[in-house]
Amino acid sequence: MWMKTVFWGLLLFMLVATTMAVEYGARSHNSGPWSWCDPATGYKVSALTGCRAMVKLQCVGSQVPEAVLRDCCQQLADINNEWCRCGDLSSMLRSVYQELGVREGKEVLPGCRKEVMKLTAASVPEVCKVPIPNPSGGGAGVCYWAAYPDV
């Protein structure tokens, strides 16, 4: 008899928990620490102008001046929420693509393909030793979106 009671109690609990999750958007892409980085919630995306310059220079194989590297790393470190750093880099990269009128598989700049620029931008946290959420361990790393084709 007690097994039936436990079963019905768990079933009722699951029903209530599922209803609450749907109501409060727990399965939404806007839940979790990264939701604080959404411009729709008032978050101001950083332009990362120093990183724009650094990524463009690195992608074409040019030497990056120390001042440009320092500016980029400082701008990235100034983003208080480490969950927002990769998102801001992704936004910066999309704006570079838009500015240059880049299409998939094309050169972004002479001698620099889109895929190379994407990997260069994604590795900025590692180059700067600025922490980002990294499930594989460690404090710095490569932005997760480097593995996805639509960035």
How confident is the model over 5-30, as a mean pLDDT? 42
pLDDT at residue 114, as a whole number:
87
pLDDT tens for each residue of 68-99 = 999 999 999 999 888 899 999 999 999 998 88
Angle at the Cα of 21 (from 17 to 22), degrees rounded to 5? 120
pLDDT tens for each residue of 92-111 = 999 998 888 887 667 888 88
CATH 1.25.50.10 fits 45-150, yes or no: no
Which amino acid makes up residue 145? W
How confident is the model over 50-70, as a mean pLDDT? 95
CA distances from 51 to 21, 90, 149 (A): 39, 11, 21
Angle at the Cα of 99 (from 97 to 105), degrees rounded to 5? 30
Q: Which tokens hold the place of 105?
A: 């598989």
| pTM for this model (two decimals) | 0.71
Q: Where are the domains of the chain?
A: 45-150
pLDDT at residue 136, as a whole number:
58
How confident is the model over 107-129, as a mean pLDDT? 90
